[in-house]
Amino acid sequence: MEEFIARLLDLQDCDRDIDRLKSDLESIPQEMKIHRKDIDGHEARFSLFRGNLDSIRDKQKKLTGDRADNVARIADYKSRLLSLKSNLEYTAMLKQITHAEKMNDLIDNTILEAMYEEDDASQVLERALKERDRAVKRSAIREESLREKLRDLESSLAALEVSRFEIAEKVDHKHLKIYEKSRSTGHREVITGIRHGSCGGCLTKIPPQRAGEIKAGITYTCPLCGSYVVWTSDSSF
Ligand SMILES: [Zn+2]
């Protein structure tokens, strides 16, 4: 293998590690987002159930008020009963009292139903609260480990970038320029192996004579993709 290729290969290995680290780094905010979304979902469910319970309690309050009004009304009717002069008035008032008492029974039934509703809604809310708290706890642990991973990755990346600089300094300028240009177009394997007699980068067939030269250690530049084609441990004609 030619000297410049060996140096470029070191650089390419280093770049591959850098690429991997960068993609790991990029995945972290995504994962954080997923956790936040999960928590938001739990919060939304929790506030929905809380709103439901609050409205049941408001209803109960209103029912209790209605009942008190009705009881007061009955007391008022009864007190007026004694002062009524005619039978007709008396019978009419008795009817009103009976009606108001029936209303009370109805309100009592509704109050009882609302109590059951409140029990159910409280249980649902309590479950949602527990689930939310569990999710928050789980996420906090996961996020902490993600932050730790982020710090590790960042310091590894910084170290790798220093080594890359040192490795790149050893590559001669002309080859470095070709390599960088090729990478900037998205080509990640500028130095590639010959595989089944073809360029490992673009799979173009390489003339047999050239393939023989590659095996003998002479570098071939692929006319199609610009890769430096070399003989590697997994190379074959
Ligand atoms: Zn090629």
Encode pLDDT of 144-160 as tens digits: 999 999 999 999 999 99
Ligand 1 midpoint to CA 237 (Å): 15
**pLDDT value of position 87:** 94
pLDDT band at 167 (very low <50, low <70, confident <90, very high): very high
What pLDDT is stored for residue 187 in this prediction? 86
Q: Which of 150, 134, 125, 149 is nearest to 35 (CA)?
A: 134
Q: Whole-angstrom Cα distance, residue 212 to residue 196?
A: 12
DSSP state of 2: -
Ligand 1 centroid – CA 191 distance (Å): 10
Each domain of the chain, given as residue ranges in start order, spans 17-170
Q: Measuring CA to CA, which residue among 164, 208, 218 is closest to residue 5?
A: 218
Per-residue confidence band for 176, with pLDDT thresholds at 50, 70 and 90: very high
Q: Let me know: does 216 contact 210? Beta carbons within 8 Å.
A: no
Task: Answer yes or no: are the C-beta atoms of 192 and 201 closer than 8 Å.
Answer: yes
Whether 2 shows a pLDDT value over 90: the answer reads no
Distance CA 190, CA 125 (A): 59
Average pLDDT, the chain: 95
Which is it for strands 228-230 and 220-221: parallel, antiparallel or unpaired? antiparallel
- Residue 163 CA, ligand 1 centroid: distance in Å: 28
CATH number of 17-170: 1.10.287.1700
State the Cα–Cα distance between residues 150 and 22, nearest whole angstrom: 10
**What's the CA-to-centroid distance between 145 and ligand 1, angstroms?**
42
Whether 23 shows a pLDDT value over 90: the answer reads: yes
Residue 205 CA to ligand 1 center (angstroms) comes to 9
In the predicted structure, residue 186 carries a pLDDT above the cut 90: no
Beta strands in 113-215 (DSSP E): 191-195, 198-199
Whether the pLDDT of residue 29 is over 90: the answer is yes
Measured CA to CA, the distance from residue 124 to residue 10 in angstroms comes to 61
| 207 CA to centre of ligand 1 in angstroms | 12
Would you say residue 191 has pLDDT above 90?
yes
Going from the Cα of 193 to the center of ligand 1, the distance in angstroms, rounded, reads 10
* Residue whose C-alpha is closest to residue 42's, from 123, 147, 137: 137
Bridge partners, residue 220, by sequence: 229
Quote the ligand 1 centre to 230 CA distance (angstroms). Answer: 11
For the stretch 171-177, contacts whose Cβ atoms lie closer than 8 Å and that sit 24 or more positions apart, written own/partner, are 171/4, 171/7, 171/8, 171/11, 172/4, 172/7, 175/4, 175/7, 175/8, 176/8, 176/11
- Residue 222 is given by DSSP the state -
Q: pLDDT tens digits, residue range 82-141?
A: 899 999 999 999 999 999 999 999 999 999 999 999 999 999 999 999 999 999 999 999
pLDDT 10s digits, 31-80 = 999 999 999 999 999 999 999 999 999 999 999 999 999 999 999 999 99
Q: How far is ligand 1, taken at its centre, from the CA of residue 204, in Å?
A: 6
Q: What is the pLDDT, as a whole number, of residue 10? A: 95
Taking alpha carbons only, the member of 150, 130, 137, 128 closest to residue 31 is 150
CA of 201 to the centre of ligand 1 (A): 5
pTM of this structure: 0.71
The torsion of the CA quartet 26, 29, 30, 34, rounded to 10 degrees, works out to 160
Measured in Å, residue 200 CA sits from the centre of ligand 1 at 7
Burial grade of 233 (CB within 10 A; 0-12, 13-18, 19 or more)? exposed
CA of 185 to the centre of ligand 1 (A): 14
The predicted structure's pLDDT at residue 233:
86
Instruction: Supply the pLDDT for residue 185.
Output: 87
What is the 234 CA–ligand 1 centroid distance (Å)? Answer: 17
